[in-house]
Structures are given as C-alpha cells and as structure tokens.
Amino acid sequence: MSSNKNLLINRDISWLLFNDRVLQEAEDPRVPLLERLRFLGIFSNNRDEFYRVRVATIRRMEKFGKKGKEIIGANPTKLLEEIQEIVVNQQKKFDSLYAKISREMKKENIFIVDENNLDAIQQKFVQEYFNRHVSTFLIPIMIETAPQFPYLKDRMIYLAVKITRTGLENKTKYSLIEVPTDFLPRFLVLPSANEKKCIILLEDIIRFCLKDVYSIFKYDSIDAYAIKITRDAELDIDTDVSKSLMEKISKSVKQRKKGLPVRLVYDEKIPMDLLDFITRKIKFKVNEYLIPGGRYHNFKDFIQFPRVGRKEVWYRPIRPVEHPLLKGEKSLLSIIRKKDVLLSFPYHSFNHIIDLLREAAIDPKVTSIKITMYRAAKNSSIVNALVNAVRNGKQVTAVVELQARFDEETNIFYAGKLQEEGVNVIFGVPGLKVHSKLFLITRKEEGKSVNYAFIGTGNFNENTAKIYTDHALITGKKNITSEVDKLFGFYQNNYQTGSYHHLIVSPFNSRKHFLDLINHEIKRAKDGKEAWIVLKMNSVSDVEMINKLYEASQSGVKIKLIIRGICSLIQGLTNKSENIEVISIVDKFLEHSRIFVFCNSGKNKYFISSGDWLQRNLDYRSEVTVPILDPEIQNELKRYLIMQLQDNLKARFLNQPGKANAYVVKRNLPQISAQNEIYRLISLNQLGVNKPRESFFDK
C-alpha cells in the first residue's frame, strides 16, 4: 500500500481499493445474481476510465523527472509498477468471479453461449442474424500484408484472427476485425427450449461465421481472440486565441480519440506469435501496458445485460417517492415561498425539478432562469424546459461547462441547441471548471424581483438521478438566493468575484471556511468540551485538509467519515487518527452526495455541497456549499447520516492498518442496509422524525 511517510495513501492506489469494493459486490452472494454480473461491468468501466485518465497522467509525469514526482506525490515509474501488480491481481479475481457467476447462472437456466455450443436451431438463427445485420458492418484487414497497421480505436473490441494451413509457404495469415458495437447490440437472446435463456455476444456471432468472412482462403484452422486498447483521454487544449472555446474543445475531443495508448488487454489464450506481431506493430514494449484477460473485453456492456430470468436475480426496482410538500401541488413555487424543501435522490422523484422549471417557463410573472450545466442526460427534459422558457419570453442563461470530462461532445451539442433557441450560453470561467449545481428563478411579486434557488450535490441529469444518491435544497430565503444571484454575476463577468457570507464558494473561501470550522472543533476539544465532525463525500485526498483532520483527532475531536471513493486519510494511527473512523458504502445506488456536519458548540451546522475535499475542488473549480438552516431538514440529514453510519451490510472500514475493505460488523444488532432503510423511511415520510437523544456516535 503506497503511503507518504505512512500517513497518506496514494490517491491512485486508494482508487484501486475503491474499485476492489465494487468487485466485492460482484462476489457477495447476498446481491442478486445478475446484479453481480452488472457489478463486473461497473468494475470494468471504472478501470477503463482509470487508465484513460489517471494512468495516462502518470505516464506523462514520467517524462518530467523530479517535477513529475512533485506533481503526483510519488515516483511515477514505481507507482505504475504498483498499479500494474494490483490490476493484474484484480483481473485474476475478476475472471474467477465471472466463471463462478456463469456457473450460478446455469443453475437459473441462463446461459451465455459461444459459437461452439449452439444447437441446430440456434446455429440457423445466428447465421441468418449475421447475414442480415452483421456482415455489412465488418471490414476485415489482413494485417501482415497491409501497407500499415490499422489504427486501433480507444475502447473498441477487435478480434485478432489467425488463419493457418499446413504444408504451404506463408501458411499463417493474421487479420483484424473491429466488432461493430457502435451499431449493433452486444447481446442477442437466442431461441431456446425448456425455459432456457441463451444469450450470445456479438463477437461470438462473428466467430461462428468466420468461415464466411474469410471464404476466399483455404485453411485448416481459423481462430479469433479479443483485444482492446485504451488511450490517453486527457485533452490538449489549443492555445490559438483566434478560435472559440467550443472550437478548441471540439478539436481536442477529436484528438483524444487518437491519444497515446496506455493499455492493451488481450485474451490470455491468444497465440504468442499473434500477440508479438500486434505489440511490435503498435510499438508496445514487452510486458509494458499489457494486461492478460479472459475471452471477453469491454465488460462495461454487461451493465446493460438483457433482463432475463426470475425476478429474484435482479434488484427490485424502486419507485421514486413524491415529496410530501410538493405532491399534487399546482404551483411548486408557492410551496417553496413558504418553506425550504430538501429532495433526496433517487428516493424522491426527479420530476419535481423538471416540473419546477416547466412551471417557471410558463408562469407570466417569471422573468428569468439561470442554470449551470455540467452533465445533462441524452434527450434532456431540463434542456427542453429551458427552450420552452425562451419561447415563452423568459430571459434564460445557461452556464455550460465544455470541459466536463467525457461529456464534452454532449455539452457542445446542447450549447449549440440552446444558442439557436436564444439562450444566453456562457462557456464556463477561464481557468476554472464550473462544477456547481445551481439554478435561479426570478419572479415579479408585488412589484419586486423575488428569487428562488436550487443548490444541489448532483447533476441536472434525469438518468443518473435514478442511480446516484444526491441532495438538493430548493429555497426562497433571500440571504441564500441573493448570493446565488451574485455567483451567476461572477459567471457572466469574471472580475465580479463578490463576497459570500452564507454560501461557501470555491475557489474563493471554501478551504479557509472548512479549516475555520475544524479549528473551532479543535479549540472546543482542547477546552474539554463536546467536539465532533461528520463528513460524507465521494473523495478526500487534499493534504492540508487531511492534516487538519489529523490535528483535530489528536486534540480529541471525534470524527466520522463516509467516503465512497478515494480516501488518502488513514484511520486508527497511534497518536494521529485514533479518533477518526472512516467507512465506505458500495451498494445498488452510487453514493454521490456531500454532507458536512459540525458540532459547533452544540448549535450544529449542516451543509450540502457540490464538491469533495480534493485540491481541484477546493482551489481550481467553482463549487458551492450551502448551509441547511431549516431544523426539520437538518433532522432529515441527521437521520440520513445515522442510517449510513449504522449500515452493517454494505459498509466497509477504509484504510485500517493491515485490513483492506473489511466489512463493518456490529454483533448483536439487526442487519441494516442504509439505502434500503432510507428508502423505507422516505416512503413513510419518517426520515425527519427526530428520535430522542439519537446521536451520530451511538454504537
């Protein structure tokens, strides 16, 4: 385990430990069978992104010598070696789990079949499907005679084909086929008898029909092995001042697709002569960047595995609950005018947000809508509501972040669409990513302009809102809405930074404000008074913030952290972090919300935030943390966190010396899944019910 003087875990190693928790879900027999298969897909997708971003960055740092080591806080070469070792071991575990899940699927009469075990009816079906749908998309390239080796696209599956015939010169031929997953589904459900469900993958359909693809050759054997290349996904932004930001990002996204390779994954059964030929042609050094794997790559597609089998092999889908204050109301603004509302996704319906924007779009008293957009859904209802608002004569401003990684093309598309409709589109802030989750509705009431603000922890994306846990405050309180308005003024005129007394805004005052809050707890603890902190985030790796938490622990402040992903802090270190407990929850929903609670001399302070405690979020992004002032909503957040801290099914202790991702065990207590319990309480409208003397620190 990489560490900095044994006090900090390297962020990249910590991320790999997070992905290992995802593998634990695939291993957990309590998880429905086909959901375990989906977790293998999630693990694979996560690892792809890790290589495209983090490993690519570390490889870049190798070229900078000592400077590179300073930037990432570790020796790049040694770190890459450690990453390689962990990834190879995880891949072995992955392959073993896939084999085990496949065996259990057979007991459920669900079979992933390949080209070698099709019955006569299935063979005919596959052949006809290939002829009708697949063959026209295939472009086989004979790579040993091609003028140049074909360019391998990032994250596409290729079949490396070896054709042999004995007794002839040039008896071996090599070929390459791109598997057309951009155009065709990865899975095909086959006709089968006796209630069996048989599924074949697209590459196995191609394998079955290789004789048709290479019919002009005489051969004794023809075999195909999957390979996949991963490329550097970092954008190199053009510095040409004559080009617009949209032009620069568009050009960079195209260049990303031709980024330098950082990994080649291959079927470990591939013949060495074929693998050597390919690696020489793409100029990979021996064993460098090479990851042996199983028969199938791009396992991320298994996230969309066909929904077959008994209902017990899947999680029971939840039906989002309507918020009791908003349920059945004709005007949502009239409710928010009276009382703050906290929405908790995916437990609450995301439709409330869409309905609120639709109401604002047609309300004759609404004059303007301002919104930040980081990641939007395809066919976004949010975008449609904004377009509708413009058509109804409202002034609409959208701050569109073009540098939202992997969503650049989507955001460029929506920016163009919004501009065409007359929306005032602002392309972020030079030098900052706008990661805040805000919108502001301005309405004329009794001759005055009145603002209503939305401040959230997650994106305006109705798709991810079904699987990400997030919170959103909707408020009409002037002290909050006026500062949201001020922040939009900064987005429009970057020199107008303003000052903020209620909102905590990166990069202006977040670091100082959080340090001040921790220092207050330190002082209280030193005075022998009650002092504690509870923090829920995706990631924490900022060295200054971690050192301050260590100082707080040494001073006697009790600290509980709920961290889903990266955590560089180590709990339980003697004379350092004995008062810190860190857990991570990985379950059916992705924990994404950020909640901060400070004892504050008994007058507890509650916040929700768009940003984690990473240096980028504190210093190089526009993030917003909002105080929760309503006592009832504070109770909701308190109960929410207590449920998470009581989880003894899906919670793991993080970074305990000598233990990696050990499950939280609480003997003689009923088993609790926080996500299930939170949904139950929200469904019964009991999340905010305050239990007497209930504490974050109850055992």
Q: What is the pLDDT of residue 463?
A: 92
pLDDT at 242: 41
pLDDT in tens, 306-326: 999 999 999 999 999 999 999
Of 297, 435, 471, 592, the active-site residue reads: 435
At 232 the pLDDT is 79
Distances (CA, A) of 345 to 307, 335, 382, 457, 472: 24, 20, 16, 10, 8
Give the pLDDT of residue 699.
54
Q: Note the pLDDT of residue 170.
A: 59
E-strand stretches of 101-196:
110-113, 141-142, 157-164, 172-178, 187-190
Residue 240: what pLDDT? 43
Query: Of 626, 576, 592, whose CA–CA distance to 465 is shortest?
Result: 592
Which of 206, 371, 413 lies closest to 296 in space, CA to CA?
A: 206
> Distance between CA 151 and CA 283 in Å, rounded?
12
Which token pair is 655?
A: 């970074």
Q: Is 127 strand, coil or helix?
A: helix
Chain segment 457-502, per-residue pLDDT in tens: 999 999 999 999 999 999 999 999 999 999 999 999 988 888 999 9
N residues, the chain:
699
What is the CA angle 458-347-32, rounded to 5? Answer: 105
Q: Beta strand pairing status for 395-400 and 366-373?
A: parallel
State the helix-helix crossing angle for 351-362 and 381-391, rounded to 10 degrees.
Answer: 10
Q: How many CB atoms lie within 10 A of CB 218?
A: 9
Dig out the tokens for 625 from the structure. 């943390």
State the pLDDT at residue 497. 82
Q: How far is the CA of 369 from the CAs of 65, 362, 365, 438, 523, in angstroms?
A: 49, 12, 12, 11, 43
How much is the pTM?
0.90
- What integer pLDDT is reported at residue 285 of this predicted model? 63
Listed as ranges, residues in the chain with pLDDT below 70 are 1-5, 167-170, 233-259, 285-288, 404-407, 658, 690, 692, 698-699
The pLDDT assigned to 637 comes to 97
- Looking at residue 288, what is its pLDDT? 61
pLDDT at 59: 85
435 belongs to the catalytic site: yes
Report the alpha-carbon distance of residue 675 to residue 678 in Å, rounded. Answer: 5
Residues 6+ apart with CB under 8 A from 433: 401, 403, 404, 616, 620, 621, 622
Residues 608, 453 contacting (CB under 8 angstroms) = no
